Structure formats: structure tokens, C-alpha cells
Amino acid sequence: MLKAPIAGVTLGAFGPAAAIGAGAATVDVAYAGLGVLGAAALLQLEPVGLALGLAGVGVLAWMGVRTLRDAWRIRLGGEAAVEVLGATA
């Protein structure tokens, strides 16, 4: 996971690299906070576990659809010049 922010910085894209790092730190803090608050006990409630499970399914489905959409767009030559490494606009 550390390679993406470092690669972004070396390519002159500090903003996106910093955002990736900040996002990872935010998730780590959220996990630690949930652990301290006893999220395991909360997940024992069936409606809460079901709601979080469905939310997780929704996020994964959304990520999958976006990944497939971008893959087909790139395969068909629909990417912008700024998305191609080494291309001049």
C-alpha cells in the first residue's frame, strides 16, 4: 500500500498521494476507535450486522461496477491524454 503514495510523489502528484495517505490513516483511526468502543458487541445485534453487511455489499458492488466501466472505457480507447502516463496533452 505504501508504493502508491510514493509513486505519486515521485511523479509530481503530491496531492493525490497525500490524500491516499490521509485516507489510510483515517481508516486506521476509525478501526482503532471502533475496537475501543466495543464494535464486536454492537455487531452481535442482528439488525446492525445485517445493515453493515448490506452496506459493505453495496460498496463492493459500486467499486466493481466502476472498475469494469473504466476497464472497458480504456480498452476501447476512451481514456483522456492526462490519464496516459508519458502522453503529452
Find out whether 14 and 8 touch, Cβ atoms under 8 Å: yes
Instruction: Round to whole Å and give the CA distance between 58 and 15.
Output: 28
pTM of the model: 0.51
Q: Domain residues of the chain, as ranges?
A: 1-44, 45-89
Instruction: Round to whole Å and give the CA distance between 80 and 60.
Output: 26
For the stretch 29-50, pLDDT in tens is 998 988 888 878 888 899 998 9
Neighbours of 14 (CB within 10 A): 12
For the stretch 72-88, pLDDT in tens is 887 777 777 777 776 66
